[in-house]
Amino acid sequence: MNVMAFNGSPRKKWNTATLLGKALEGAASSGAETELIHLYDLNYKGCISCFACKTLGGKSYGRCAVQDDLAPVFSRVEQADAIILGSPIYFGEISGEMKSFMERLIFPYATYTDPPQSLFPGKVRAGFIYTMGVTEEMMNQVGYAQYFDRHEMILTRIYGSSEYLCSFDANQFDDYSKVLATRFDPVKKKKRYEEVFPLDCRKAFELGVRLAEKR
């Protein structure tokens, strides 16, 4: 069992990275080999719309033709049993690095057929961890859930299965007094981080266990 995780946050030791680490701990507890990749360490761009992956009989049919830092990563994804994506939510969307990564992760395997099909060579369990500064109530008010559900649908279509986990009301700073962030109550943020974030870590661990279970 091989489980790969992808950190779409520029921070390597904050909320998203921590939860991904806990998910990999869960996978490892079930005997999986694990790997964490920080997307901000890699040199790549989003899909360049060359359509080499769609050209029948072409050498890159069903594969991304771009040779950059993601090329060897995608080769390993095809050998993985599970993948876990993680991203903070910026302005209502995943980070730019994760968006570009997902374009490249999904589009080469997607077909322009009716119904849509997948060219991915096998089945991979997919998970997604989202971290955000808003509360769960605010998330529902602005419609984030539909956005997350769409990711789940697309990942399921391409890879076979998908689920996601949300961590709300994230603690963004070590010291709120040093930044202009009067919208937030640092006392409440600290209290939530101490009381709720450990529960989120446990949920991430359990996510990793589920994705690494033998079926």
β-pairing, 2-7 vs 33-38, is parallel
Q: Which amino acid is at 45?
A: K
pLDDT score for 141:
86
**Rounded to whole angstroms, how far apart are CA atoms 139 and 161?**
24
Tell me how far CA of residue 143 lies from CA of 102, 126, 134, in angstroms: 21, 22, 12
**Rounded to whole angstroms, how far apart are CA atoms 209 and 215?**
12
pLDDT score for 125:
95
**Rounded to whole angstroms, how far apart are CA atoms 84 and 130?**
11
Q: Is the peptide bond before 115 cis (omega within 30 degrees of 0)?
A: yes
Q: Where are the alpha helices (DSSP H) in the chain?
A: 15-29, 70-77, 96-106, 136-142, 144-159, 186-195, 197-212
pLDDT score for 50:
95
pLDDT score for 215:
64
Residues in the chain: 215
CB atoms within 10 A of CB 213: 14
pLDDT means per 10 residues, the chain with 215 residues, are 95 95 95 96 96 92 95 95 96 94 96 92 94 87 89 94 93 83 84 91 96 81
pTM (2 d.p.): 0.92
**By CB neighbour count within 10 A (0-12 exposed, 13-18 middle, 19+ buried), where does 188 fall?**
exposed
Place of tokens 């069903």: 62
**Rounded to whole angstroms, how far apart are CA atoms 101 and 136?**
26
Question: What top-level class would CATH report for the domain 2-212?
Answer: alpha beta
Token couple for 1: 């069992």
The SS3 assignment for 60 reads coil
The SS3 assignment for 45 reads coil
